[in-house]
Structure 1
Amino acid sequence: MFVYVVMYRTSTLMRLRLLEQNFLYEHLRHYYKTLNPNSNFRAIIGLRLQSICKLHTMALIDTAATMIFTSSSSSSSTARLLLFNNTKLHKFPNTISNFRRSTSLHFGTSSPTSRTIVTHCSSSPASAIQVNNETLATVIDGKRVAKDIREEIAVEISRMKEEIGIVPGLAVILVGDRKDSATYVRNKKKACDSVGINSYEVRLAEDSTEEEVLNHISKFNDDPSVHGILVQLPLPSHMNEQNVLNAVCIEKDVDGFHPLNIGRLAMRGREPLFVPCTPKGCIELLHRYDIPIKGKRAVVIGRSNIVGMPAALLLQREDATVSIVHSRTKNPEEITRQADIIISAVGQPNMVRGSWVKPGAVLIDVGINPVEDPECARGYRLVGDICYEEASKVASAITPVPGGVGPMTIAMLLSNTLLSAKRIHNLR
């Protein structure tokens, strides 16, 4: 018996696992042997799975085919792989009446815990073949999306410069010598340079007074070449953070932390001038990956003014049903298991386990936490709030750490700065 079995030829962006191929082969071989072991049977199954998912990271799986050829005079069987053109299906119109992908064959953001391929042959009823009991979690690539957004911003800035001769400007105030804050500021400056935004930087000593910071904010408020002002947090303990943030002109509050911006975000029928960058980046990732929000159950883990609270408000604006899990929440895993979308921003490494996640849920991990790892050259590695190894086996889509939300935060800062410049100069 000679058996030609399915072989998938995949694009470079996606490859089906060898395990799934072997599993499919064994079921096909068993099915046709059971069908009629004593008669000659020849069939070609054409597989064309196109646009498996709406997600941008997925690519076309090219046409492949299967030929099953049985010889009753042969006592041995050999499996051979052979690729066919789709046109060869037309030579056997009576053998394969139809091949379709079952509605339970899902990838990416769909929620089933299994995937099923169904074939319909003229000689038998439909036969379902179970391929895999694991949902394949799609990696939400924040780094790639942020790159796309920066390219879009660069085009807009170039157009703005040509039309009205204005270049957006972003001012950053850094107080103290925290290495992480200095790294963030350096990355923001580099991002500004990459899209053509003018950057202005003020570095103050750790023991600087609050009045000094307020004076610099006042100067930037009055500077027409500056369209966005960012005060790098956290501030030294002797400064009143609320006073400093409130001093930023609301029209230049590109961080979105001004209480009037947050208040407008919370009120129906009002629009904030700016939305905080990290929550805005989370929602943008969902939009760019065509993940529906309206009518979905969403859980935000964490209630900080910077991420958790505004993220919950944004999800509510998108017509999701929103719950917030915080440090006083009892049995948080019972709440997260009901969520279609989870945004976690608590700063606790691997807190959200796979058992906390509803099958098929979409996970946005804001946390960036260093954990000791002697195998890494620097002695540690970065992980998120969500245990990636466990959750990726349950979720339909998940952001990695690093490379997920982080790049989006800076991209949204650039977007807000451009928005401010266009608004100030009445440019659409």
Structure 2
Amino acid sequence: NDSIWTRDYGPWFIFDGENQLGIVNHTYNRPYRPNDNLVPLYFGQQQGIPVYSHSMYHTGGNYMTDGSHISSSTRLVYSEASSANGMSNAEVDALMAQYYGVENYAVLDYIESGGIHHIDTWAKFLDEENVLVKSVWSSHHTYTALEQRATLLASLPSSTGRPYNVHRVYCYPISGGSPASYTNSIILNNHIYVPFFGNSGYDQDALDAYREAAPGYEVSGYYYSGFISDDALHCRTKGIMDAGMLRVGHIPVFDDQEGTVTIIADIQAHSGGSITQSVVVYRHNGGEWNEISLVSNNRGSFEAVIPSPEESGTCQYYIAVQDDTGRTAGMPRTQPAATYSFNHTVNLSAVDSSQMPENVQLKSNFPNPFNPSTTFTFSLAYEGEAELSLLDARGRLVRVLTSGVHGAGDHSIHWDGKDAQGRSLPSGVYLYRLRAAGLQYTRTATLIK
């Protein structure tokens, strides 16, 4: 190699359309370091991992991804692709989709006029919904820009459909008056490694900020006298992906719920092995933990139903999965040290769709899964009030499809995959709920794009 900045030129990992591990090799934006640019090719040869190369200029320090098809960089990527490759912004976005599976590429403005403009010097994805952003003192020239970026990120939808939770870490002035770069950390499995800059008080504050923003992780600090504002631990390291990883995807339930609650997870054993355990572990109001199995719903996901509580209160839960290679995974990723929780109330009026009385029927939508539209059908034995609503996987209202007095007989309602404001919705599992005859009935519909 030519330099120590492994992050910038090291291999970027993807799973291809066959769920096999691959490396995507960008053209390192330092053409005067030709050996660095070859490292991903040699690493792929050594490890037996296929390498897919493209000519667009990029750099690893200016890239962060949530692993769920959303990624972010500063506009350096557009600038260099334009000058070095003659590419438009739209062509950059298209390449990121084609090679990396990025469906939403959030390209942000710089925080200062000079410097290397790498996003890892001031921001860090912690998971699909949480991002850490540098905070500096009010007289520093990047203060206003950082506050604006933090506000912008908090307004953007994450892959779950909810806005990002933006956490802040104060970066005090180090030598030369530049801010420390506590966001320049690295996450490996359930461990977060944070750069230390030599002030024990501020270093400890940074550890506390990570522990609050990413509960359950082991958080450690590492001091090196050569760390500076735009070059610390993340810049000099690169994690290596496990080709046989066990991956669990799940959109957590946080909103208030009543009655039974369906937990949906995507499980992929990239080892090709079998799943030996897949459970939701839950408890109500601090009581005993209970396990329920996640069962395939024949639509590519797994489901388990947390029953209605005996008394309204707080429900805590987590997902735990194991395959026959001994790999384990779950959600939250640091379970059982961390759990999800929501307010859970008793719903005496709700009944399961399979137990509907004959005077009301909510049928399966068709097609399902669907893209871009589907049709819902329900039947009423008698004329009366009925409301059919769409909710997201967290139980938030997306759109009321019909409401009012409906006659006896069958009623078919077409849905175009858009919310109440006419915006196209992302892929995911949605709930459609019928309220009629004093009861409510719920089924799931899967939108795939």
The TM-score by the shorter chain falls in which range?
A: under 0.3
Larger Rg: 1
Compare the two structures and name the one with the higher strand fraction.
2
Q: With CA pairs under 8 Å and 6+ residues apart, which has the higher RCO, 1 or 2?
A: 1
Question: Which structure has greater helix proportion?
Answer: 1
